[in-house]
Amino acid sequence: MAQIQTATKLVTFEEFIQWYPENSPVRYELHNGAIIEMTPPSGKHEEIKGFLNNKLVIEYSRLNLPYFIPNQAIVKAPEGESGYLPDVLILNRHSLASEPLWTKSSTVTQGSSIALVIEVVSQNWRDDYYKKLADYEEMGIPEYWIADYAALGARKFIGDPKLPTFSIYQLVDGEYQVSQFRGNDYIISPTFPDLKITVNQIFQAGEVVRD
């Protein structure tokens, strides 16, 4: 999603939570103290997000795992004044009792509370590949997916020539190691090893397939 900075005055994360409009149709994130309005995403973005959401709900339900996907929850960065609203966020119910901000503001601060986080790339691709990647790694989130369906990321992230790429970052010894998938590749998820979907199935979600 593209972004519009709503004000020049920097705020703390606590001030951001207190300010956040209840039941707001507009989504906001906090980036280094700046409140950012997230402009409405494209239809393609939402098709991919919905497809992944549905597939993952089926998978963790089948495995009887204590997971759920909140409608809207904030991931607070471990350093500085930042908070993000991921496109898809899978939380572990068993870990939420130790989250100090969950009950009051549906905010998670610990990587152990998050099974998987997903960002579907749009024009603000730098946030997904730089800012959020670093913060999710620092938090200790075990798995991070970046769905770059329009090949917007820099060549150092998705290669040259730039092609639509699905990147899975797995936390290994405190650092993310990336595996990348394209075309008819089946994605390989450490969290959901039996998930059988290809990159094309994800990126073509919602498209009418004709013979």
Please state, in angstroms and rounded to a whole number, the distance separating the CA atoms of residues 118 and 166: 11
Per-residue tokens: 111: 């990587």
Residues 111-130: tens digit of each pLDDT:
999 999 999 998 889 999 99
Q: Is the pTM of this model over 0.85?
A: yes
pLDDT at 24: 85
Please state, in angstroms and rounded to a whole number, the distance separating the CA atoms of residues 24 and 44: 23
Split at pLDDT 50, 70, 90, the class of 206 is: confident
Q: From the centroid of its chain, how far is CA 103?
A: 21
33 contacts 12 by C-beta, under 8 angstroms: yes
Please state, in angstroms and rounded to a whole number, the distance separating the CA atoms of residues 35 and 168: 28
Q: Residue 131, SS3?
A: helix
Q: Residue 99 is which amino acid?
A: E
Split at pLDDT 50, 70, 90, the class of 7 is: low
Split at pLDDT 50, 70, 90, the class of 1 is: very low
Structural domains in the chain plus CATH codes: 41-203 (3.90.1570.10)
Q: Is the pLDDT of residue 35 over 90?
A: yes
Of the chain, the percentage scoring pLDDT greater than 70 comes to 94
8 vs 61, more confident: 61
**Which residues make Cβ contacts (< 8 Å) with residue 12, sequence separation at least 6?**
33, 81
Among 1-15, 126-140, 173-187, 195-209, where is mean pLDDT lowest? 1-15
Cis status of the peptide bond prior to 21, with omega within 30 of 0? no
pLDDT at 34: 95
Per-residue tokens: 151: 């090949």
Q: Is the pLDDT of residue 164 over 90?
A: yes
pLDDT at 5: 55
